[in-house]
Amino acid sequence: MRAVDKNMLHWMAITFVLFPVLILLGIFMRTVQGGGLGTLQSWFYPMMTLHGVGMVGVWYVASMACAADALGRYCDPSPAIGRFALVGTVIGVALLLVCVFAGRFAAGWYFLYPLPFKGEWPAWSAITFLLSLTVLGATWLVWTLDLLRAIAKKYSLAQALGWHYLAGRSEPAVPPAVLIITVSLIACVAGLLSGVIVLVLFYAELFAGVSNDALLMKNLTFFFGHTIVNLAMYLGVALVYDALPDYAGRPWKTNRIVAIAWNAVLLIVLVAYFHHLYMDFVQPGAVQYIGQIASYASAIPSSVVTIFGALLLLYRARMRWNLASLLFILGLMGWAIGGIGAVIDSTISANVRLHNTLWVPAHFHTYMVGGLALLCIGYFYHRCQQAVGLPERAGLQVFAVVAMLAGAYGFLLMFYLSGAYSVPRRYALYPSELRLGTGFAAVAAGFATLFLVGFLAYLREMGRRWLGAFAKAA
For 458-473, write each residue's pLDDT tens digit: 999 999 999 999 998 8
| Bond before 114 cis per omega within 30 degrees | yes
Q: What digits encode the pLDDT tens for the residues 403-454?
A: 999 999 999 999 999 999 999 998 999 988 888 999 999 999 999 999 999 9
Q: What digits encode the pLDDT tens for the residues 95-149?
A: 999 999 999 999 988 889 999 998 899 999 999 999 999 999 999 999 999 999 9
Residue 1: per-residue pLDDT: 64
Closest by Cα among 300, 329, 301, 302 to 313: 329
Q: Does 303 have pLDDT greater than 90?
A: no
Which band of pLDDT confidence, cut at 50, 70 and 90, is reported for residue 474? low
Question: How much of the chain is helix, strand and coil, in % rounded to 5?
Answer: 80, 0, 20
Asked if residues 188 and 228 have their Cβ atoms less than 8 Å apart, the reply is yes
**Helices 214-248 & 176-208 angle (0-180, nearest 10):** 160
Residue 296: per-residue pLDDT: 85
Residue 391: per-residue pLDDT: 92
Total residue length of the chain: 474
Q: Does 185 have pLDDT greater than 70?
A: yes
Q: Among positive and negative, which fits the CA dihedral 171, 175, 178, 181?
A: positive
How far apart, in Å, do the first and last CA atoms of the chain sit? 16
- Integer angstrom CA distances of residue 246 from 193, 240, 327, 472: 36, 10, 14, 22
Residue 397: per-residue pLDDT: 95
Residue 3: per-residue pLDDT: 80
The span from the CA of 310 to the CA of 407, in Å, is: 25
Asked if residues 145 and 107 have their Cβ atoms less than 8 Å apart, the reply is no
